[in-house]
Amino acid sequence: MNNQDNTISSFSAEMAENVINSIPDMIFIVDSEYSIRRILNNDPAKLSAPVESLIGLSVVSIVSDDCKDEIRQAIDRALKSDEVQEVEYTLAFGDATEFFEGRFKRVNESLVACFERNITVRKNVMHELKIAKEAAEESDKLKSLFLANMSHEIRTPLNAIVGFSDLLTHTDDQETKEEFISLIKKNNDLLLQLINDILDLSKIESNTLEFYYDYFNINDILTKLEATARSKETTGKITISAVPALSHCIIHSAMERVYQVMQNFMNNALKFTREGEIKIGYEVLDEGIRFFVSDTGIGIPKDKQAEIFQRFAKIDNFVSGTGLGLSICETIVQKFDGTIGVDSELGKGSTFWFMLPVKPLEV
């Protein structure tokens, strides 16, 4: 009978040790002076140092400075109460910082059991969820702002088209008719641009914006842009010129998207330049080809230049447009693995540019 009792006792002790070692927590027994008296779960993988070197150390000494007081107070409270005390703190492991949850429970009048669990994964997941939640909330705000802006921006040219079309039928004066037709055409172009921006933004959001690569001559783009800009400039106060760097410059890229970015730059130059000149061109540099449109327009204040490529950013709220064009341009250039920017001085003009990491084809 005694042998059986010994077997049961031995088995129970072994089982108890196995159960303790299977617990995912580190278990420290500390005294009222915060010294580590024993470590029950001594899995080396869970400890920052060998067990022998930790025995006798103050448990407060192995936590970060901003958590020391909390640990002391939790142990003090545990010694005076039967309730479990909980504290979250951090530990440094080399260059990495990990998060832990500590639960402190009184063993007797002078000892406290500290159950320490690594919650780094949980914390990281919570942090990622928080970022995702904030991003979703920001997206909802942007969509609401987008709908509010679009309802206003679309109504403006539509009202002009409907209004001047009606007036056109009630006048016989040829000069007045031509003026109304010009205004209708201008607002029709604006409405078409708005619709194109909305479609492009939708494609960007769904990652379906298409890029068709082929060989083309950059000079052909400049010629087309120059002709288009001259047809839109009716005041006679702005000189528009193309300044190609080479007589032929053939590259392999998506011509439609390159043209789209340059056309957006050109449209903005025409909007904000009352007199002077607009130049369209490119430079062949060691790192690639730098496209640019420069003007002698109103320029951009320094504090606005950093945000000019953000969605809905507008230099002048009284000038028509959605504030989407430059944001779309930035996305397109990034798809090319290129860079985009603006150099501007208030009252003197602006140069919008983008760099593509391509080299001209040798002819």
How confident is the model over 104-150, as pLDDT tens digits?
A: 999 998 999 988 888 888 888 998 999 989 888 887 777 777 777 77
**Ramachandran area for residue 94 (φ above 0: left; ψ -120 to 50: alpha; else beta):** left
Residue 294, strand partner residues = 279, 351
Mean pLDDT of 235-263: 93
Query: Apex CA 288: angle with CA 283 and CA 293, to 5°?
Result: 40
Confidence at 279, pLDDT banded by 50, 70, 90: very high
Q: Tell me, yes or no, whether 336 and 228 share the same domain.
A: yes
Domain boundary among 150, 184, 209: 209
Specify the DSSP class assigned to residue 34. Answer: -
Here the contacts of 105-108 (C-beta below 8 Å, separation 24 or greater) are 105/78, 106/78, 106/79, 106/81, 106/82, 107/29
Q: Tell me, yes or no, whether 190 and 235 share the same domain.
A: no
Position 324 in a domain: yes
The domain tally of the chain equals 3
CB 19 within 8 A of CB 105: no
**Among 85-89, 152-156, 182-186, whose mean pLDDT is lowest?**
152-156
Tell me the C-alpha distance between 266 and 280, whole Å: 8
Q: Is 215 helix (H, G, I), strand (E, B) or coil?
A: strand
How confident is the model over 67-81, as pLDDT tens digits?
A: 888 888 989 999 998
| Averaged pLDDT of the chain | 84
319: nearest Cα among 146, 156, 78, 155 = 156
Furthest-apart CA atoms within the chain: distance in Å: 124
Tell me the C-alpha distance between 172 and 356, whole Å: 53
Q: Any idea which residue has 């303790």 for tokens?
A: 20
Q: Tell me, yes or no, whether 220 and 168 share the same domain.
A: no
Q: Tell me, yes or no, whether 55 and 149 share the same domain.
A: no
Q: Tell me, yes or no, whether 306 and 188 share the same domain.
A: no
pLDDT at position 256 is 94
Of residues 13 and 334, more confidence is placed in: 334
Position 126 in a domain: no
Tell me the C-alpha distance between 280 and 18, whole Å: 77
Please tell me the pTM assigned to this model: 0.59
Tell me the C-alpha distance between 195 and 157, whole Å: 12
Q: Tell me, yes or no, whether 10 and 70 share the same domain.
A: yes
Q: Tell me, yes or no, whether 359 and 219 share the same domain.
A: yes
pLDDT at position 358 is 95
pLDDT at position 5 is 53
Share of the chain above pLDDT 90, in %: 35
How confident is the model over 139-160, as pLDDT tens digits?
A: 777 777 777 777 777 888 888 8
pLDDT at position 43 is 59
Position 112 in a domain: yes
Q: Tell me, yes or no, whether 204 and 222 share the same domain.
A: no
pLDDT at position 224 is 94
CATH of the domain at 331: 3.30.565.10
Contacts of 226 (CB under 8 A, 6+ apart): 240, 241, 242, 280
pLDDT at position 93 is 65
pLDDT at position 99 is 85
pLDDT at position 16 is 66
CATH of the domain at 182: 1.10.287.130
Q: Tell me, yes or no, whether 216 and 195 share the same domain.
A: no
Question: In residues, how long is the chain?
Answer: 363
Q: Tell me, yes or no, whether 165 and 50 share the same domain.
A: no
Domain boundary among 91, 118, 145: 118
Domain boundary among 163, 190, 209: 209
Confidence at 317, pLDDT banded by 50, 70, 90: low
**Ramachandran area for residue 101 (φ above 0: left; ψ -120 to 50: alpha; else beta):** beta
CATH of the domain at 47: 3.30.450.20
Position 268 in a domain: yes
- Residue range of the domain that includes 243: 210-363
Of residues 157 and 14, more confidence is placed in: 157
Position 123 in a domain: no
178: nearest Cα among 186, 188, 168 = 168
CB 105 within 8 A of CB 115: yes
Confidence at 218, pLDDT banded by 50, 70, 90: very high
Tell me the C-alpha distance between 273 and 267, whole Å: 10
Position 46 in a domain: yes
Position 127 in a domain: no
What separation in angstroms does the CA of 48 have from each of 19, 117, 251, 265? 22, 13, 58, 58
Q: Tell me, yes or no, whether 228 and 292 share the same domain.
A: yes
Q: Tell me, yes or no, whether 258 and 360 share the same domain.
A: yes
